[in-house]
Amino acid sequence: MNSIRLGIDLGGTKIEVVAMGPAGDILLRERAPNPGTYEPMMLAIRDLLDATTARLGLEDGSSSGARLPFGIGIPGSIDDTTGLIKNANATWLNAMPFGVDLPRVTGRKVRVENDANCFALSEAIDGAASGRSVVFGVIIGSGMGGGLVVDRKLLSGHHHIAGEWGHIPLPWPRREEFPMPRCFCGNEGCLERFLCGPALATAWKGEGTRSAEGIEEAAATGDKKAQAALDAYVDHLARACSLVINLLDPDAIVFGGGVSNLKATLARVPELLSRNIITPVCRTELLVNKHGDSSGVRGAAWLWDIGEIR
């Protein structure tokens, strides 16, 4: 295997590529706009990969030359039954034969994974949870996602939905929390409706607010609504983490996305875990990611190094 790894992070508005060295060092990083439609997006991925390898002198540029494989993280997953994309928040990707078309268009072998899985893999291999055996990586931003890594291998699951804790209902609900908020998935009470960034912003400033930026600072200066919103958020997050710990018993939970910037808030969560965890002492570490918004693309680059994806 070539010691240079290529990774792509496919976002809603941008496409990012990295070329990564054998020790996880970033040799080159490039971004391009995501055209937002299927065929132009495929061509943009191809051109970005070709330009990156050409700049590093890794390929001769001819159509007959050997092309480096790459990994790609997407905001969804491939349905093993149909081979089509499902659960993508970039809805124009859904029901498309992405895993078939991408190798054809790029002329390269590819491994496709959910972007939260890539985040978890990155943080488990050489990130905040390096050296831990069982790692649950979570992204909480405008939505919620998660990925599970066991001994440096992704545990994707039978339906490729392992780690989707955003669509588990809030555990240990209280009478005053009813009626539960309705989720876009059609169910009520999903964790995402309590823990995503817009939910925290709404609890602070009311309906229509999307960003909770500055909420910790506001609470520290006496904003009672901000403090109340954070108190409820910590309680909900502690219950969500307790559910994961009772079910998976991971060595570490690593946080990514906008919530990872709320460091003072996250620091309050461990003291509440004992309410619901069925063990006298909880040693699961709650960690903030090491690689920031680079974790997804780094995890994509690691996909060719992790053996069989289960």
Q: Following DSSP, what letter does each residue of 154-178 receive, concatenated?
A: E---TTS-TT-GGGSBPSS--GGGP
Residues 29-71: pLDDT tens digits?
A: 999 999 999 999 999 999 999 999 999 998 855 444 578 999 9
Pairing of strands 14-20, 5-10: antiparallel
Determine contact, residues 45/15, Cβ cutoff 8 Å: yes
CATH number of 130-289: 3.30.420.40
pTM: 0.93
Which residues lie below 8 Å from residue 91, measured CB to CB, with a gap of 6+?
none
Determine contact, residues 274/282, Cβ cutoff 8 Å: yes
Residues 208-248: pLDDT tens digits?
A: 999 999 999 999 999 999 999 999 999 999 999 999 999 99
Report how far residue 210's alpha carbon sits from residue 197's, in angstroms, rounded to the nearest whole number.
7
Task: Name the nearest CA neighbour of 42 among 114, 89, 104, 85.
Answer: 104
pLDDT of residue 305: 82
CATH number of 5-117+294-305: 3.30.420.40
Angle at 163 between CA 1 and CA 241, to 5 degrees: 125
Residues 5-26: pLDDT tens digits?
A: 999 999 988 999 999 998 899 9
Question: Could you tell me where in the chain the CATH 3.30.420.40 domains are found?
Answer: 5-117+294-305, 130-289
Determine contact, residues 140/258, Cβ cutoff 8 Å: yes
pLDDT at residue 1 greater than cutoff 50: no
pLDDT band per the 50, 70, 90 thresholds, residue 308: very low
Residues 116-142: pLDDT tens digits?
A: 999 999 999 999 999 999 999 999 998
Task: Name the nearest CA neighbour of 107 among 74, 77, 64, 73.
Answer: 64
